[in-house]
Structure 1
Amino acid sequence: MKKNIYIFLNKLQIILIGIIMIVLQLPFIRQIDFFSKVKYYLLALIIIFFILSYIKLAGSKYQIVKNYSLSIIIALIFLFSLLNVLINGNYASFINQILFMLFPLLAGIMFAHNKEEIKFGKTNSSSISHLLLIIISIQVLSALVINMFDIDLTQFAVNDLHAYKTFYTTEGDKRIAGTLGHPIILAFVCIPLFFLSINYYKQTKNKIFLLTFILTLYVIIHTFSRGTWLGIFLSLIIYFIVSNAKSKITMTFNIIIFVIIFIYFNMHEQSSVINRFNSLLNYSNDFSVIHRKLMFSWALERYLNNDLSYITGIGYGLGNNFASIYVPSDNFPVIDNSFISMLIELGTVNMVISSILVIRALYFSYKSNVVYMYILIAMLFASLTFDISSWYLPSFMFWLIIGYNNNKQKIHCR
């Protein structure tokens, strides 16, 4: 197959993934009744994606190097998920897992094998990086417009009690939520753009990417999401530790600029940011901290008392449904921790397998594309404050990045 046809098919696949990610950030997507119809269209796009993959690989001079360990890992996840359907009949959960975990995972792995990457100006970044940059930028701009004009999205809160209301911190500061329905979700989705935009700026010196970084930073700050703040800060510390001397000087300068921008954006809010961190130390009046502490013991009890926990789990994305049946003592049926919710949802075996994928992604990204290591560290830390599997776009994006960074082997000629 000619090189330009191969690139054309690659672009079609990127466009398909982009369409799916745009659909997943539309406000009405949180309406369950509507989404049950949309699922079939998403499944159709997935089928088209794999047809293009087959045409691209079968008709080209390229073939993917066999990776038996990765193939076994993916097969085991699928088999134990299928076993969950046979035992519990959770067909909806199985479809959700295909749409928001298995498919983006496989798509990411396939994009990691692309021989011909789509170039974006003077950058040497990947097609996935370009896609994330564009899609998340759309969400950032949407969030800014919604906040600026105070657009009411509560009409989209049908069947979703906790989405699209106006969120405030304990200290009374309004939080930006965008079209995703919750400020924590918006902050989590912005993490890749935070790191990618500054990385693109370093490569190109194009001020558009610097502006993108500043706007993204503004949105992340005004979500008042402490998990994301701390996750990004942890990644920056790790960057400082592993970088060489010259990079450390640059990093020190960047941190100074970061702190100045951070303070500037919050001068008019006085000590809002400081108060958010102080509430972690004195959390007697902070419901979110008290609730997450409670859910650790709740989840452990549910895990130990549920026979399916050790085999298949209850089903991907069903953790909060489970909490609605076994209501915690504060009557707030949301787990708010991706690690303990996935332990209940996936079961011990799939949780261990998924953890292996995450560890592999961290290792390969450190070896070949370190910006994604910082992205993943920040995302993993931020996921301590919400349930990835319960939110469509974060789940899709997280597993896409995990898949992309799980296999850095090149495509070989026949």
Structure 2
Amino acid sequence: MDLVVKRSIMYAGLIQSAIVMYSVFVNPVINIANFVNDLPVGTDTSFLNTRAMGSVGHPVVLGAVLVPSILCWIDDMILGSKNKVTYAAIGLQLFALYLSYSRGSWISFVLVFIIMMIRYKKTSKIWALAAVSLPIVLYFDFLIQDILNRFAVFGQNDGSVSHRLLMYGWTWEQLVRGPRQLFFGEGLGGLMQRFIESPPSDGFLAIDNVFLTVLMQFGAIGFVLLLTMLWSVFYRHLWKGSSNSRWISFVILNMCIVGGTFEVFSWENTGVMFWILIGVSSSLLNRERQQQHSSIYLEKQDYSHRPLHHHLSS
């Protein structure tokens, strides 16, 4: 079951990357042609002067779909799947991720990749990768300049950053209106009513932060329950689990990081992936418990069926 889900994530990312290559170098996908030309701050001189989004509907969501796939491919490579197909798949998806110009996805990938290398005790690989990448970076310096230009706007009049910062204060103002709002929130679907009654000062009716959204909808109680569930996943797979299931924690950790920049649960592509992985994690836990109970039961059965002199001698 878990292997099927992992392969599905890997191949979904690969398919999206192929769609990105087609939409950028051949023909725009019809339903995103208008959005492709709507470039954000910092990409007006970018490579090909475009921002890819595959078929998922938004470049930020594309990045959030590609990074889990890339992490799964890298996890397979670390666990022994080292061949030309793996390297090509990772390279293709990294280029598609670059073309999304999603800063949140770029940051989350780098952070989780470093954590992955540390957890697998492959820190030396980071330096080796940097040494190999340096000539490539110098040759394709215009790509690096595009990335630097995209991050350079953090200190400028970048509406996406200022809005996300604004929503921290706005969320707190809504929560402290009363005990019910603080502990139980507005309820599922009640957020839009708060936007209508008390819109943010910039007029943009979206929080763009999954954790703040959970706080607004389910209050402090729901927020603590979410954190408890996430802690259980990380403890189970990142620190204690076998290497075969660590990919689950890496993907969910990435979704938590990028969830600070957009509504992960509100987009089917990422929301469904998140909750399926939570289900897979619970399924693996139940399987481990059943195996433990079975082994204990077999040991007891074996002991009870021993001859009498074995019991006396023991």
* C-alpha distance 186-154 of structure 1, shift in aligned 2 (>3 A): closer
Return the match for 1:275 from 149, 157, 162: 149
Take 2:196 and 2:94, find their aligned partners in 1: how far apart are those partners?
35
* C-alpha distance 146-239 of structure 1, shift in aligned 2 (>3 A): same
TM-superposed CA distance for 1:322, in Å, is: 4.0
Q: Which residue of 2 aligns with 1:383?
A: 259
Take 1:181 and 1:287, find their aligned partners in 2: how far apart are those partners?
20
* C-alpha distance 358-349 of structure 1, shift in aligned 2 (>3 A): same
Q: Which residue of 2 aligns with 1:177?
A: 53
* C-alpha distance 189-386 of structure 1, shift in aligned 2 (>3 A): same
Asked whether 1:206 is paired with 2:83, we answer: yes
- Tell me which amino acid in the other structure corresponds to 1:313: G
Q: Which residue of 1 aligns with 2:186?
A: 314
TM-superposed CA distance for 1:273, in Å, is: 0.5
- Identical amino acids, percent of aligned pairs: 23
Take 1:316 and 1:166, find their aligned partners in 2: how far apart are those partners?
34
Return the match for 2:20 from 143, 148, 171: 143
Range with bigger deviation, 138-147 or 209-218: 138-147
Return the match for 2:274 from 398, 401, 410: 398
* C-alpha distance 295-130 of structure 1, shift in aligned 2 (>3 A): same
TM-score normalised to structure 1 length: 0.61
Take 1:217 and 1:324, find their aligned partners in 2: how far apart are those partners?
40
Question: What pairs up with 1:247-266 in 2 under 5 angstroms?
Answer: 247-257=122-132
Take 2:75 and 2:267, find their aligned partners in 1: how far apart are those partners?
27
- Tell me which amino acid in the other structure corresponds to 1:301: E
Asked whether 1:345 is paired with 2:212, we answer: no
TM-superposed CA distance for 1:363, in Å, is: 1.2
Residues 317, 390 of structure 1: 8 Å contact kept: no
Q: Which residue of 2 aligns with 1:216?
A: 93
Return the match for 2:38 from 159, 167, 185: 167
Return the match for 1:225 from 102, 115, 130: 102
Q: Which residue of 1 aligns with 2:162?
A: 290
Count of equivalent residues:
279
Residues 140, 216 of structure 1: 8 Å contact kept: yes
SS in 2 for 1:167: coil
Q: Which residue of 1 aligns with 2:172?
A: 300
Return the match for 1:332 from 194, 200, 204: 204
Take 1:399 and 1:259, find their aligned partners in 2: how far apart are those partners?
38
* C-alpha distance 254-376 of structure 1, shift in aligned 2 (>3 A): farther
* C-alpha distance 256-128 of structure 1, shift in aligned 2 (>3 A): farther
TM-superposed CA distance for 1:154, in Å, is: 4.8
Cα distance per residue 1:122-178 (max 9 Å; x no partner): xxxx222112112232222223222221233159x9xxxxxx464313121422111
Take 2:18 and 2:67, find their aligned partners in 1: how far apart are those partners?
15
* C-alpha distance 375-260 of structure 1, shift in aligned 2 (>3 A): farther
SS in 2 for 1:305: coil
Asked whether 1:236 is paired with 2:107, we answer: no
- Tell me which amino acid in the other structure corresponds to 2:70: F
Range with bigger deviation, 333-342 or 307-316: 307-316
Cα distance per residue 1:92-114 (max 9 Å; x no partner): xxxxxxxxxxxxxxxxxxx46xx
Residues 71, 113 of structure 2: 8 Å contact kept: no
TM-superposed CA distance for 1:267, in Å, is: 3.4
Cα distance per residue 1:310-343 (max 9 Å; x no partner): 4543344664564354321111111111111111
Q: Which residue of 2 aligns with 1:29?
A: none
Q: Which runs of 5+ in 2 are unaligned?
A: 298-314
Residues 319, 335 of structure 1: 8 Å contact kept: no
TM-superposed CA distance for 1:277, in Å, is: 1.9
TM-superposed CA distance for 1:200, in Å, is: 2.4
Take 1:168 and 1:193, find their aligned partners in 2: how far apart are those partners?
25
Take 2:117 and 2:4, find their aligned partners in 1: how far apart are those partners?
27
Take 2:248 and 2:88, find their aligned partners in 1: how far apart are those partners?
21
TM-superposed CA distance for 1:193, in Å, is: 0.8
Q: Which residue of 2 aligns with 1:359?
A: 231
* C-alpha distance 267-169 of structure 1, shift in aligned 2 (>3 A): farther
Take 1:209 and 1:321, find their aligned partners in 2: how far apart are those partners?
47
Residues 342, 389 of structure 1: 8 Å contact kept: no
**Larger relative contact order (C-alpha < 8 A, sep ≥ 6)?**
1
Residues 309, 343 of structure 1: 8 Å contact kept: no
TM-superposed CA distance for 1:391, in Å, is: 1.1
Asked whether 1:370 is paired with 2:228, we answer: no
Cα distance per residue 1:199-228 (max 9 Å; x no partner): 223422232221111111111111111111
- Tell me which amino acid in the other structure corresponds to 1:146: S
TM-superposed CA distance for 1:306, in Å, is: 5.8
Residues 117, 125 of structure 2: 8 Å contact kept: no
* C-alpha distance 143-310 of structure 1, shift in aligned 2 (>3 A): same
